[in-house]
A and B are shown apart, each in its own frame.
Chain A
């Protein structure tokens, strides 16, 4: 280690000062400019290199993807399991209480557990199965709600579905119970179909090539009277569109003829709203249906409901439903609110005031709807 003595350092300093003072200012400026230029040049070169690197990376990524099919890239798997259908299970149950004339009861009921499976059969057919598992009167029951095959490659806007289907009559009939906004179906569905109208048969639809949605269709169904017959048929038409970017609507009419029963005509109107069309946080749905029957006992039925989601997770709804009979006109008024932690779980509280009997009654229910596995997109 060399130690510089103070005198030596001083001498070096005094020697340097004159040299510095002699040097011209322009030289320093030139040097500075040269260094700046060098730095800028390097910056530019580094940036260019980074850009080239990014492009090279991108090209490499692209090269590795051109080998793959541009169709939806599912995880590649070679086993049979890769062709497994989408499977979903929906769990439902209700804690309920009734306070009516002569009855005052409460209990816990595990509702239908829905098992849903679907997949494309091949490039021209898709198949779908919904089975409802229920426990009633001490026995486990398995009911096939829907089991149909759909033709997916028909030309000119035609569609066909055959097997066990939920009829396209009305609006709510096609919805599974986990999609309902209230714990039970409105009175007209209970009176005319004893729930939903599910039957075996064939459906044909045609969608018009217009900007306004226009669907026409018909069904030929087995009917309930004759187990081997083709004794029921429907015709239906639906139109719909948007109202600006915030609203959309669907209106429809349907006609049902069944053996040994009076014909039924239905009309429905659905209007949905959300700010800017952004559904996630805030939205509103109004929905009404009217059934008219040639039946002597029950002339018709109707319901109207509104459901509002003021912010994510919470929804509030009100519904009025009723029947027109030659004896009296039963009415019900329901309110509900529900909380959904995600799209897959929902807890609902519902109160219903019942004016169906001679005296008023009331019901309450606390319902859960939980869904696991694959869950297909919901229709409008």
Chain B
């Protein structure tokens, strides 16, 4: 009898360990989403933090070690990680997560990407031919990716399909309710005009009905130039914009310089989970984004 119990335990133990899927997310928002949909079955890791520009990451040994053991790699895609992800993949020797397999997922390929262009010329800066990759700042995009992620987790780990499906439904009920709440709270922001440091906010701004009137970067991806900033000062000295937005990892010098000269408030918005002290998960991320936008613009 004891032997039988031991045998059962021995069989059960590896199963319990195998049930855990290791998810390597390139950005914190997808790690957070994997936690929502995967629950206890998933151990997620984010390669970047909200304080790092995901375009410029070193292909660090620690990241190679993480990809080596991953069951699923989920990234924004659209060439956001072009500078480092392929170097990780090449060194990691993990055939389960190579692009083209079920273990690799590009979140932005599931939504409508804006600004896709065939006009690929590096004189125009950091161009993403497949469209703008910063899709996570529209919660409707998160809904779509959540559905796709649930399907993908079930494909890799079919034994737990019901759990992933339940988790998805539970998440979406809260998420859709939150979207209604956010949209109601942000109704007063409709029609406002924003200047963005980098074009990281197009999905957020179009969702909230805020117009993006300019970028601090003259050419996407290259630091703002003095000439471009002084041109913006002239253009917005007598109004024309309501807020200047930057991500936590972008240098504040340029937006504060412009803010001082034009009186337009300059704010930091979390671009992903962890970008501010309050943005600790996907829900508080949007709570905080909208609270900060309203604080900057409602009183004006």
- Residues of A at under 8 Å CB distance from B? 47, 50-51, 54-55, 58, 61-62, 64-65, 68, 70-75, 123, 150, 152-155, 157-159, 205-215, 238-242, 245, 248-250, 272, 274, 276-281, 312-313, 341-344, 372, 376-380
Contacts and interface: CB of A to CB of B under 8 A. Distances in A.
Nearest to A210: B65
Given A71-B100, A213-B64, 17 more contacts: A58-B144, A65-B110, A72-B100, A72-B106, A73-B109, A73-B130, A205-B93, A212-B62, A213-B62, A277-B51, A279-B53, A279-B58, A343-B83, A377-B86, A378-B84, A379-B87, A380-B58
Most buried by B among A157, A250, A341: A157
* Chain B interface size, under 10 / 10 to 19 / 20 to 34 / 35 or more: 35 or more
Nearest to A209: B69
A235 to B, nearest CB: 18
Interface in B246-264: 249, 251
Nearest to A46: B187
A375 to B, nearest CB: 9
B95 interface: yes
A74 to B, nearest CB: 8
19 contacts: A47-B184, A54-B140, A58-B140, A65-B112, A71-B99, A73-B106, A75-B129, A206-B93, A207-B92, A212-B65, A240-B65, A242-B62, A277-B52, A277-B57, A279-B56, A279-B58, A377-B59, A377-B83, A377-B87
Interface string B166-186: 000000000000011001100
Contact of A153 (B84, B95, B125): B95
Contacts of A55: 140
A154 B110 contact: no
Contact of B61 (A68, A155, A313, A380): A380
Contacts of B56: 278-280
Interface of B: 48-49, 51-53, 55-62, 64-66, 68-69, 77, 82-88, 90-95, 98-100, 104-106, 109-112, 118, 122, 125-126, 129-130, 140-141, 143-144, 147-148, 152, 179-180, 183-184, 187, 207, 221-223, 249, 251
B143 A213 contact: no
A213 B65 contact: yes
Contacts of A274: 58
Contacts of B88: 377
Contacts of A70: 105-106, 109-110, 148, 152
A258 to B, nearest CB: 26
Contact of B249 (A74, A152, A241, A280): A280
A114 to B, nearest CB: 17
A211 B69 CA distance: 8
Nearest to A58: B140
Contact of B111 (A61, A75, A150, A207): A61
A277 B65 CA distance: 18
A106 B86 CA distance: 41
Given A51-B180, A73-B109, A377 B93 contact: no
B98 A152 contact: yes
Given A73-B130, A210-B65, A213-B61, A154 B179 contact: no
A272 to B, nearest CB: 6
Contact of B93 (A157, A276, A341): A157
A47 B90 CA distance: 49
A62 B58 contact: no
B65 A211 contact: yes
Listed from nearest, the 10 A-B pairs whose CB atoms lie closest are: A240-B61, A213-B61, A377-B87, A276-B51, A159-B93, A61-B112, A213-B65, A280-B56, A73-B109, A153-B95
A200 B143 CA distance: 51
Nearest to B155: A70
Contacts of B95: 152-155
B85 A377 contact: yes
Given A61-B144, A278-B51, A312-B223, A51 B129 contact: no
B87 A378 contact: yes
Contacts of A123: 100
Contacts of A278: 51-53, 56, 249
Most buried by A among B82, B140, B187: B140
A248 B58 contact: yes
A276 B52 contact: yes
Given A72-B99, A278-B249, A241 B61 contact: yes
Contacts of A208: 68
Contact of A377 (B51, B84, B92, B94): B84
Contacts of A72: 77, 99-100, 104, 106, 109
A85 to B, nearest CB: 14
Nearest to A377: B87
Contacts of A211: 62, 65-66, 69
Nearest to A313: B223
